[in-house]
Amino acid sequence: MPDGPLLLESPPSPLRAWLTLVSLGIRRQARVRQMVWIALGLMAATALFVGLNTSMGQWSLLERRARPHRMSYEEHLLHLRATQGFLRPEPAAAVHLAVLGATRAALDHSAFLVFSRWIIFAVFQSFLLPLWTLAFATDAIGGEREGRTLIWLFTRPLPRWSIYLAKYFSALPWCLGMNLLGFAVICLSAGEPGMLALRLFWPAVLAGTFAFAALFHLIAALFRRPAIIGLLYSFFFETLVSDLPGDLKRMSLSFYIRSIMFDATSALELAPDSLTVYSPVDGATAWGVLAGVTIVLTLIGMWFFSRGEYTEDV
């Protein structure tokens, strides 16, 4: 019999081992890499550009002039309001007043509409959002492959599919933090219209981050240079295809992210320039597609990672 007290060790727990792997992956993602520096540089440059335009009052149409040396839109609207009752019968004056009210409402929301079209849609949603996501999502497995440490992961008492899922969840907090923080910084740089955009669009950014993270995590499991493949996809598919006429754009994630944004601003009448070209789906459909894509891509990645050889890594 041993002299000392008996120490009873707790049985191995697969759940505890999986959570430990997630925690280790989150800490490992904290390493600053070249892609992260590029993402931070783009965030700073975009915020600076937005801030300069905000300081010059470039978002609102109130002070813009239709032609050089002419009245601004606001001045012209005030002039029309001042002369609305001259030599007009009462029904015509009522119609004139209604048109002036609608025009005034459109001008009051013009800063938000211009900022959304040129910064949120053209820059952030179709370019920065996928780029910032791949900065972390491709490294969860890609970093293990480049560092030739997959053999260590495969020796863990966990099935491969759970390792793939753990690496996805370890990258997800960083993807969400980067995208939501970057989106907030850009919106706050725009002042009042940016605050409105932040309040209306952040759920679309959240849904898009989950879907893009699942896609780039799968790419990292399929290819040895996932960052390059992800960049090619972001530049030539999400940036270009999502704006093409026809149904091809429905294969891009950006199309459904933008559809959620259009649905969130239905009361403000923020719509595509041409419904026949873009034709967004309703918000519920877009949410369902992004959620389904996230789940399906994750399941495909778990299946492939469980059966991949990865002989070059070991």
DSSP of 195-234: HHHHHHHHHHHHHHHHHHHHHHHHHHHH-S-HHHHHHHHI
Residue 67: pLDDT over 80:
no
- 72-81, 217-226, 240-249, 277-286: the lowest-pLDDT one: 72-81
Residue 88: pLDDT over 80:
no
Does residue 222 belong to any structural domain of this protein?
A: yes
Task: Compute φ and ψ for 71, nearest 5 degrees.
Answer: -70, 150
Does residue 242 belong to any structural domain of this protein?
A: yes
Q: Considering its fold, how many domains does the chain have in total?
A: 1
Domain carrying residue 134:
38-54+110-307
Which pLDDT does position 205 carry in this prediction? 96
Residue 210: pLDDT over 50:
yes
Does residue 42 belong to any structural domain of this protein?
A: yes
Tokens of 38: 């590029």
Tokens of 179: 């995208």
Which pLDDT does position 181 carry in this prediction? 95
Say which residues have a Cβ less than 8 Å from residue 1's Cβ, sequence separation at least 6: none
- 12-26, 192-206, 293-307: the lowest-pLDDT one: 12-26
198 confidence band (pLDDT: 50, 70, 90):
very high
pTM: 0.80
**Which is higher by pLDDT, 65 or 229?**
229
Which pLDDT does position 238 carry in this prediction? 83
Which pLDDT does position 182 carry in this prediction? 94
Does residue 62 belong to any structural domain of this protein?
A: no
**pLDDT, tens digit (0-9, with 9 covering 90-100), for 303-314:** 998 887 665 544
Does residue 204 belong to any structural domain of this protein?
A: yes
Which pLDDT does position 38 carry in this prediction? 84
Does residue 221 belong to any structural domain of this protein?
A: yes
**Which is higher by pLDDT, 271 or 43?**
43
Residue 71: pLDDT over 70:
no
| Rounded-to-integer distance, Cα 93 and Cα 86, Å | 9
Mean pLDDT of 262-268: 80
Which pLDDT does position 156 carry in this prediction? 72
- Beta partners for residue 65, in sequence order: 72
Mean pLDDT of 209-237: 90
State percent of the chain over pLDDT 70.
Answer: 72
Which pLDDT does position 85 carry in this prediction? 52
What is the rounded average pLDDT for all residues in the chain?
78
**Which is higher by pLDDT, 266 or 299?**
299
**Which is higher by pLDDT, 54 or 69?**
54
Nearest Cα neighbor of 132 from 211, 27, 223, 209 is 209
For residue 162, what are the CA distances in angstroms to 78, 103, 236, 281?
Answer: 65, 57, 32, 34
Residue 184: pLDDT over 80:
yes
Which pLDDT does position 301 carry in this prediction? 94
Residue 268: pLDDT over 80:
no
Does residue 72 belong to any structural domain of this protein?
A: no
Residue 90: pLDDT over 90:
no
